[in-house]
Amino acid sequence: MSHHRAIAASILPLRLEAAGYAVGGEPLLSDISLTVTAGRRLIVMGANGAGKSLLLRLCHGLIAPTSGRRVWADGTHRPEAQAMVFQRPVLLRRSVAANLDYPLALRGLSRSARRDSVARTLDRFGLAPMADRPARLLSGGEQQRLALARAWSMSPEVLFLDEPTSALDPSATRIIEEMIEGFSAEGITIVMTTHDLGQARRLAEDVAFLHRGRLIAHHPAANFFAGPTAPEARAFLAGDLVWS
């Protein structure tokens, strides 16, 4: 769809250069150098507390690195062509359609352009029958679908997803994964965290592995799952075998 191709200068690749994030002198992310390449699906893995969510927030611009740099290819501080979906999406206390309208209004789109875009998004994701329902009363799976639709309607070049299915049942998870694959097929770059190894295997083209706030490995997925060189990553994968 032309919609996503209209951007002249790409904001990608995104480069983190020795980026770190510390709170009160305590480093939560340290010395992370990472390039997010256009068109790939990068899965960020690691144990709880490894810094996966923080890394996504740092990339997305919700927090600023306290050391090192975050550099977008278009040279801007925080480009518009990006979106993020949270583990528990925050939907506004208004209708499904109004939730889709909101970010477009923030961008200053005209009323008619917004109406067209909202209608297109509702259709594309099968949300039209619930357009007038209050978003907060949807099921968890429907809410996350709406959150992804809202993110898509912002025409992102890169979409950050923080554990988007961890609160969902298997069938809702499946729908969300299909949406993510669809976005990827349109050329949207995906950066996603998950603690679900099965999901990581299904979706990953590249894997970044975090351990205690440090980037231990960043490989194509096949290499990573075949047997990572880093002992922490090996232990993490082995832990999955023990528990599954």
Partner 1 sequence: MDGPFFTAIGLILGADAGLLQIIGLSLRVTLTAVLVACAIGLPLGAALALARFPGRGAVIVLFNALMGLPPVVAGLVVYLMLSRAGPFGDLALLFTPEAMILAQTVLILPIVVSLTRSVVEDIWAEYREQLQSLGASRLRAVPTLLWDGRVSLLTGVLAGFGRASAEVGAVLIVGGNIAGHTRTMTTAITLETSRGNLGLAVALGIILLTLTLTLNALAWGAGQWARSRLG
The residues that touch partner 1, with contacts defined as CB under 8 A, are 57, 60, 62, 80, 83-84, 86, 89-90, 92-94, 102-103, 106-107, 134-137, 150, 154
Counting Cβ atoms within 10 Å, is residue 106 exposed (0-12), middle (13-18) or buried (19+)? Answer: exposed
Residue 13 vs 134, nearer CB to partner 1: 134
Buried b (16+ CB within 10 A) or exposed e, 136-146: eebeebbbbbb
Nearer of residues 41 and 57 to partner 1, judged by Cβ: 57
What's the CA gap between 86 and 88, in Å, rounded?
A: 5
Torsions phi, psi for 39 (to 5 deg) = 85, 0
- CA distance linking residue 127 with residue 217, whole number of Å: 39
Minimum distance of partner 1 from residue 54's CB (angstroms): 12
Which residues lie below 8 Å from residue 218, measured CB to CB, with a gap of 6+? 34, 206, 207, 208, 209
Question: Of 193 and 217, which CB lies nearer to partner 1 in the complex structure?
Answer: 193
Burial of residue 227 (number of CB atoms within 10 Å: 0-12, 13-18, 19+): exposed
State the nearest-atom distance from the C-beta of 61 to partner 1, in Å.
8
d(CA 159, CA 180): 9
> Could you tell me the smallest distance in angstroms from the CB atom of residue 84 to partner 1?
5
Query: Of 32 and 84, which CB lies nearer to partner 1 in the complex structure?
Result: 84
Beta bridge pairs of residue 32: 19
| CB 7, min distance to partner 1, A | 16
Give min distance, CB of 98 to partner 1, in A: 10
| 102 versus 225: smaller Cβ distance to partner 1 | 102
What residue type is assigned to position 141 of the chain?
A: G
Closest distance of CB 127 from partner 1, Å: 16
In this structure, the number of other CB atoms found within 10 A of the CB of residue 9 comes to 10
Residue 187 burial (CB count, 10 A): 12
The smaller minimum CB distance to partner 1, of residues 83 and 203, is found at: 83
Closest approach of Cβ 223 to partner 1, in Å? Answer: 32
Indicate the residue among 20 and 89 with the shorter CB distance to partner 1.
Answer: 89
